[in-house]
Amino acid sequence: MRVSQFLDSSIAPFDLGAFFSRYVIKDNSIVSVSSYRHHKENYVSNDEYNESLDKYERILNACSYHNLWYRKTSTNFVITLENDLGLNNEQFFTRLLQKIFLAPFFMDKDLSENKKMFLRGFFETRGSIDTSLSFLTLDYFYNSSLELKRIRYLIDNFNIPAQTINVNFRELQKQYTENINKRNAQFRINLYWYLRHIGLINPLKNA
């Protein structure tokens, strides 16, 4: 699909959430990526593992109006848009934000099913479950002004209680300051709240 078509067509809330969460512009394409995090050793056989990958692809496309998701690598699923408008990062974000603001579900006062699908696209396409602390987490590149805007719009417009979210600033942790293991900060949402009010699209999702 071309970027111009994406911006002019009816796009599933899930796909909008996935692009709102994160995208990469490279080689005249704008790409949203979902990484499959279930480990191969958790399965009885290779066939069972491969079936779980096929099932995840079916889940992604069941959430999409246009079957846009496909497997790019053994564990990465992507939507690739041809950047026929030649948009840069800021320009695409502005057009994407406009499309989200004009979507009918955006004006829903309650946490409607379409808003839930948007949030599933935002969190689950690149998030992982921290079972020890009961969070659904995703890397937070807050050095970008776009990332700051994403989080602000998410909190202000999608019925998420402020007390259910936090940012884990790994730069303040010993491993980071001592240059042992430098990892990105994390944006986290309370897993119990998410399961109760949103619900996971992938029953096999694991950290």
> Given this model, what pLDDT does residue 99 score?
97
C-alpha gyration radius of the chain: 17
How far apart CA 147 and CA 183 sit, in angstroms, is 17
Tens of pLDDT, residues 76-92: 999 999 999 999 998 99
Structure-block tokens of residue 163? 């007390």
Q: What is the 3-state secondary structure (H, E, C) of the chain?
A: CEHHHHHHCCCCHHHHHHHHHCCEEECCEEEEEEECCCCHHHCCCHHHHHHHHHHHHHHHHHCCCCCCCEECCCCEEEEEEECCCCCCHHHHHHHHHHHHHHCHHHHCCCCCHHHHHHHHHHHHCCCEEECCCCEEEEEECCCCHHHHHHHHHHHHHCCCCHHHEEEECHHHCHHHHCCCCCCCEEEEEEHHHHHHHCCCCCCCCCC
Contact 14, 67 (CB under 8 A): no
Contacting residues for 51 by C-beta, under 8 A, at least 6 apart:
none
Structure-block tokens of residue 135? 């969070």
pTM as predicted: 0.86
Tens of pLDDT, residues 154-196: 888 888 888 898 876 555 444 545 555 555 667 788 999 999 9
Structure-block tokens of residue 143? 């050095």
Closest CA to 61 of 75, 76, 78: 78
How far apart CA 184 and CA 162 sit, in angstroms, is 22
> Given this model, what pLDDT does residue 184 score?
64
Contact 28, 87 (CB under 8 A): no
Task: Enumerate residue ranges in the chain where pLDDT < 50.
Answer: 172-174, 176, 206-207
